[in-house]
Structures are given as structure tokens and as C-alpha cells.
Amino acid sequence: WAGTTIGGAAGFATPVPFMPGSTQMTVRVYSSQAGIPVRLKVEDSGDATKSVETEALTTGVNTWETLTFDFSNEAAGTAPLNFTYVYDKASIFFNFGTTGNDAGEQTYYWDDVEFVDGPPPLQIDLPVTFEDPALGDYGLTDFGGNISELTTDPADPANTAAKTIKPLGAELWAGTTIGGAAGFATPVPFMPGSTQMTVRVYSSQAGIPVRLKVEDSGDATKSVETEAMTTGVNTWETLTFDFSNEAAGTAPLNFTYVYDKASIFFNFGTTGNDAGEQTYYWDDVEFFQAPPLEQIDLPVTFEEDGVDYTLTDFGGNISELTADPADPANTVAQTTKPMGAELWSGTTIGTAAGFANAIPFEADATTMSVSVYSPDAGIPVRLKVEDSGDATKSVETEVMTTMANAWEVLVFDFTNEVAGTSPLDLGQVYDKASIFFNFGTDGNTAGEKVYYWDNVEFGGVIISVEEAAILDLQYFPNPVQGALQIKADSEVELVRILHTTGQEVYR
């Protein structure tokens, strides 16, 4: 094992910059024999127990050659390369394993001891399986006192998993970033209906809150966090993290943000001192791709699973799906027309692609209906339909609300277009609709107002009254275009007006 240390006990001024994909050093060697094993060893100058050794064979005789030493291929019986160690000292051994007496005196020349820069390290990406050697330690970056490393799966020695120790002294928010500061190569592809990630977890306790946080690697203020609880003890289970259900007090999921970095927190909210040192294993960090959502189509009820109920605002509107203010079991659209909103602010029902099918207008079928809950009566509500592929082909009509803080069904007749807008053309394709509340009045003038709406349907009858002579009623005008007057010879205790679908619109 006779050898020579390069630089003495102090070693190099700077450590050898090993990293995944960059694990080689070279030395030019001049040997009198071919087939001579040359060993190169690097170690921590302050701790000789931290070292790695590898070998290369000479191939030339009395000529210079460059030998390459790959420390990811450690010599048999020696420690493997560990990227968390500091290697700042090197020693070289010629004809390692053979004594001078056996080999006879030999002279070797050597020069140009260099580190070989490899290609830039690969950036990790979902799914994270911890099985690709080229990714090294997968950039696991601890904070708050955690200690993480890749190790053997406690239940399957053939599998590699991450191990995170939350020791005594760890903060309640101690966590581990997956992939380091750079995060993932591509953002997590969140979209409506696809908001989940999964992680396999092996915990020594059930009922442990595991938090997963995703953020913009370039802007930490853009993040979303959610939690799942362990249910098994010393067994693998798959935890599902739904980012549409953000952790209390954290920001909600925003589909316009880029989320390309993730961190995991075990027993979030409990310090290491309170819980005692605990060890967790985890693996297979994946995005859960839900089936694609169906394109929206009439009738729009906001109740069907698997439908893309995207609401596309413009002009300052703010819309979302929410609980019906009169029936919490019902889901409706809520549109806020805030201060600063334009007089023409509106909301497209769906995406730019519009409905899956064109609205089937015909000469005797030219209406649509929308259930509306307005804070004020006398508010003009405009409905516009257009060709999703050609915005110049459109028709608009308006109806006034008649009630405040109550549901009513507004029927829009597109043969009665708004003055100055195009008339209905039955030869055109209308497959996209937008709704405008208090059209013509901006948000600053009206003040912030909140409107609810539901049940966007093709059809709807301008209210008229069926024959009721048996009660000797008089009613006018018929059909009704504004107010309905009813006269009777006897006392009328109750009047109910029903939509053609059976929904009560007035009592």
C-alpha cells in the first residue's frame, strides 16, 4: 500500500467538486510496464474515515498516458463516494497490492492531476422514484433540522427510498426540499380537475400529518400547501395530497402560477423535542393525472362531475363556483363586479372553446334562460352568444332583474337583439356564451356587487298564462313582457308562478 499524498496533511485549498455526473479525476502517468494498477484515494483532510478509492490500469510502456479515475466506481472493499462529504486531500499508489520485494524496484513518473468536469447535473422531474443513479441524491435539501438521505427500502431491499430523520431539536416546520433550489425540470401540470399529487410513505406511527408544499422556484411567495394523515404503522401507504384543499392559513391553488418545486414536512406542527426523534421513509412522488374534463355544454348546471366549468372573466369581473346562497346543497356561479370593473365587464361560460355543441337556434326556438340571484331589482343582464372561431359573428340581448336577493329565471330572446348589435342569423354557428351583469354601468359607479347565477339552458318561454276561466280570473298582458296583472271576482290567497321546468320563480 505504499503511496504518496499530494500536498501533505493539509490537502488541497478547495475540496474536489464532486457532484452527480461529475465523479472523475485524471492523472498523466509514465510507467515502465503495462497492466500496473494505479490507485487514487481522496479523503477529508480533517477526518480520514471519510474517503473513497478507485483504480485504473496502465496500458503503455515507457510512454505518457492519461489515466481516468472514476470515483463512482470505488475499489472493492472500500467506501463508496458520498456527495455530502468534503474530499480535499489525495494520495496516489503505484502497483497497489504488490510489495517492492515482489515487484522489484520500479520508477513511475506522473503529472497533471486534474478534476474532470462532467456535464451539468440532470434536473429531477416528476415522477421521483429515487432509482436513477445519474441523479445522485436527488438534491434532497433539508431545513429546520431534518436529516435526509437515500437508503434501502425497509420492506424491500431491492428498492431505493428516501429516509428523513426528524431529530430532537428539529423545528415544528422542519422539512425537505425535493430537487434543491432549482426544483423540477417542468412545472407540476395542475389544471381544473387535476389538482392532486401522491407520495408513498412509511411511518412508525399512524395519525401523523404530512404536509406537501409546492412553489415557484423563482418566487417563493407563490406557493400552495396541503396535508394528508398517515393511517398505517411500519407499512407503506400512498398518501394523496389535493392542492384544491389548501392547508388552513395558506394560499389557495392558483392555476396561473408556475409550481416547479416541492417540499415535504413530516409531523408538521410538532417539534422534534415534543415528538422525540422519528424516522420516516418515502418514495414515488407523483402527479396524479385525472381524466380530462369534458367540454362544457348546455344545459349548464354546475353540478356534473367531470365537466370543465371554467369561468373566463374579462373587464375586471371575478367569478367562481360556490354554494347557492339560498340552498347550500346546490352549486352555482358567483360573479363579483368590483370597484374598477369596466361597464362591459363580463364572464364567458367555459373557455375560449365555448360549448361542445352549437346552440340549436331555429325560427321558432330563439331563447335561452338563466337563473339569477341579484342584490338589486332593475339590473340589466346581457347575454351574448357568438361563434367561438369568429368573434364577429354574435348576437346580444338583455333582460332586467325584477327581484332582489331572490332567485328568478330570466329568459333571453335573441330575436330581440340589443340596439346597435347584430341580429340573430340562423345561418351562423353560435357555440359560446358570455353573461354581463349591470351592463353599461362600471364598478366604480355601482359599487362592488355580487351576483349568483345557475342553470344556463337553451329554451325558455316568455311567461304567459294558461286558461284559468274556472277561477274567473282576468290577466293581462298575455304574453307577459314586464309586469303581470291579475284580477279575480273572489279573494286570491296565493299566486305561484312556475318555470316550464317546474321551478318556482315567484310566490
Name the domain count of the chain. Answer: 4
Q: Minimal CA–CA distance to 86: which of 50, 116, 121, 119?
A: 50
Residues 273 and 204 in one domain: yes
Q: Any idea what the CATH number is for the domain that residue 214 is in?
A: 2.60.120.260
User: CA-to-CA distance for 94 and 98, rounded, in angstroms?
Assistant: 9
- In which domain, by residue range, is 496 found? 469-506
Judged by phi (left if over 0) then psi (alpha if -120 to 50, else beta), residue 306 lies in left
User: In this structure, is residue 298 part of a structural domain?
Assistant: no
Residues 250 and 316 in one domain: no
Q: Which residues pair with 175 in a beta bridge?
A: 143
pTM of structure: 0.52
User: In this structure, is residue 109 part of a structural domain?
Assistant: yes
Question: Average pLDDT, stretch 82-89?
Answer: 93
Residues 349 and 390 in one domain: yes
More confident residue, 19 or 157: 157
Q: Could you tell me where the beta strands, DSSP code E, fall in 250-366?
A: 261-266, 278-288, 311-314, 318-323, 331-337, 346-349
Which of 253, 288, 323 is a domain's end point?
A: 288
What percentage of the chain exceeds 90 in pLDDT?
83
DSSP state of 300: B
Which of 227, 254, 288 is a domain's end point?
A: 288
CB 429 within 8 A of CB 391: no
- On the 0-12 / 13-18 / 19+ scale of CB atoms within 10 A, 146 is buried
Digit-coded pLDDT (tens) for 298-311? 999 999 988 999 99
Q: Is the pLDDT of residue 465 over 50?
A: no
For residue 407, give the amino acid letter.
Answer: W
Which of 116, 145, 167 is a domain's end point?
A: 116
Provide Rg for the chain, Cα atoms: 36
User: In this structure, is residue 295 part of a structural domain?
Assistant: no
Model pLDDT, residue 473: 66
Residue holding cell 345557475?
454
Q: Is the pLDDT of residue 466 over 50?
A: no
Residues 166 and 218 in one domain: yes
CB 460 within 8 A of CB 409: yes
Q: Is the pLDDT of residue 22 over 90?
A: no
Digit-coded pLDDT (tens) for 195-219? 999 999 999 999 999 999 999 999 9
Model pLDDT, residue 21: 74
Residues 20 and 161 in one domain: no
Q: Any idea what the CATH number is for the domain that residue 56 is in?
A: 2.60.120
User: In this structure, is residue 26 part of a structural domain?
Assistant: yes
Model pLDDT, residue 8: 87
Question: Average pLDDT, stretch 105-124?
Answer: 89
pLDDT bracket for residue 474 (50, 70, 90): low
Residues 174 and 250 in one domain: yes
Give the CA-trace dihedral at 192, 198, 204, 208, to 10 degrees: -10
Digit-coded pLDDT (tens) for 231-290? 999 999 999 999 999 999 999 999 999 999 999 999 999 999 999 999 999 999 999 987
Q: Is the pLDDT of residue 469 over 50?
A: no
Residues 157 and 247 in one domain: yes
User: In this structure, is residue 325 part of a structural domain?
Assistant: yes
Specify which of 177-191, 425-439, 451-465 reaches the highest per-range mean pLDDT. 425-439
Model pLDDT, residue 493: 67
Residues 277 and 315 in one domain: no
Judged by phi (left if over 0) then psi (alpha if -120 to 50, else beta), residue 415 lies in alpha
First-residue to last-residue Cα distance in the chain: 100
Model pLDDT, residue 502: 44
Question: Average pLDDT, stretch 331-349?
Answer: 98
User: In this structure, is residue 108 part of a structural domain?
Assistant: yes
Q: Minimal CA–CA distance to 176: which of 140, 207, 223?
A: 140
More confident residue, 417 or 466: 417
Residues 101 and 158 in one domain: no
Residues 138 and 281 in one domain: yes
User: In this structure, is residue 301 part of a structural domain?
Assistant: no
Residues 412 and 271 in one domain: no
- Per-position b or e across 69-104, b if 16+ CB within 10 A of its CB: bebbebbeeeeebeeebbbbbbbbbbbbeeeeeeee
User: In this structure, is residue 294 part of a structural domain?
Assistant: no
Residues 336 and 247 in one domain: no
